[in-house]
Amino acid sequence: MCTVIFAYKAHPIYDLIYLGNRDEFKARQTEPSKFWSNHPEMIAGKDLKAGGTWMGMTKQGRISFLTNHRDFTKIKEDGRSRGELPVRFLTEAQESKGYLKALSDEKMLYSPYNLVAGDMNELHFYSNVMDEVISVEQGVYGVSNAFFDTPWPKVEKAKERLKVLLEEKWACEDALEEALFEILEDREIVPDEQLPDTGIELELERNLSSIFIDLDTHGTVYQTVILIDKTGHVHYSERYLDGPSGMWKSHKFDFSLMMP
């Protein structure tokens, strides 16, 4: 299950520092991040089964990312793809709060999810389980498969490590990027007494408690680090498990936001 940590307007250089692991069935076909041919201003990975994405952003500075909410009693077998929700926001002109509020009318069409959407001026969170839009203020936050900033041990651990990095001075962007990926690589299993109770068997709860997950058929398949500085420069770095080869690959994108 996915883990996303981000610092929003909490650094003197970067308006956004994003680091996230996408966890999925390893056999599910996806496409690494790129600028989409039908939406050339949008960069995102692509789920080739349903056509949506788990996270992406545009050259105009719009950003959106999604995690599943772990409540198997609310799964909709015939529900619409949750991955369409970030794509819709990124390709429409509606501001984030209005977009997320309107999703309340569609909440029963999807399995449980958490969705963050906005830009460098405003950022909001919505879950179709709690059915409430939350404004994201300046700070460091985490989203896994509970509600926004729920203090699951791996979320709190990653947040604390990010906060330490925010206090350090970095000679170059590459060094900061590598330190952020090191957080995403953490495979430590949480002690049983600290595990959340999400209704799954204890062994699976243990195996899903680490920041990086590596099970036989399921695990971390994408790792993404995004740095957006106050001048509008975007550094977008991604590492991903290539299904056909079974090897980890990486690529990077650097571009400037189209400032108004």
Q: pLDDT of 60-76, one tens digit each?
A: 999 999 999 988 778 88
CA-to-CA distance for 57 and 199, rounded, in angstroms? 33
Per residue in 130-159, pLDDT (tens digit) is 999 999 999 999 999 999 999 999 999 999
Mean pLDDT, residues 102-119 taken together: 97
Per residue in 158-181, pLDDT (tens digit) is 999 999 999 998 878 999 999 999
In angstroms, the Cα distances linking 248 to 77, 161, 207, 238, 245 are 31, 24, 21, 10, 8
Give, in degrees to the nearest 5, the angle at Cα 4 between 151 and 210.
Answer: 65
Count the residues in the chain: 260
CA-to-CA distance for 234 and 86, rounded, in angstroms? 19
Mean pLDDT, residues 11-35 taken together: 96
**DSSP symbol at 101:** H
52 pLDDT band, cuts 50/70/90, is very high
85 pLDDT band, cuts 50/70/90, is very high
pLDDT for 221: 97
260 pLDDT band, cuts 50/70/90, is low
Mean pLDDT, residues 38-44 taken together: 97
CA-to-CA distance for 47 and 245, rounded, in angstroms? 18
CATH code that applies to domain 3-256: 3.60.60.10
Tell me the HSE value of 82 on the side-chain side, using a 13 A CA sphere.
Answer: 23
Q: By C-alpha distance, which of 111, 159, 191, 196 is closest to 3? A: 159
Mean pLDDT, residues 22-47 taken together: 96
Per residue in 186-214, pLDDT (tens digit) is 999 999 999 988 888 999 999 999 999 99
Pairing of β 55-58 and β 42-47: antiparallel
Mean pLDDT of the chain: 95
Q: Does the global pTM surpass 0.75? A: yes
Look at residue 259 and tell me whether its pLDDT is greater than 90: no
Mean pLDDT, residues 6-23 taken together: 97
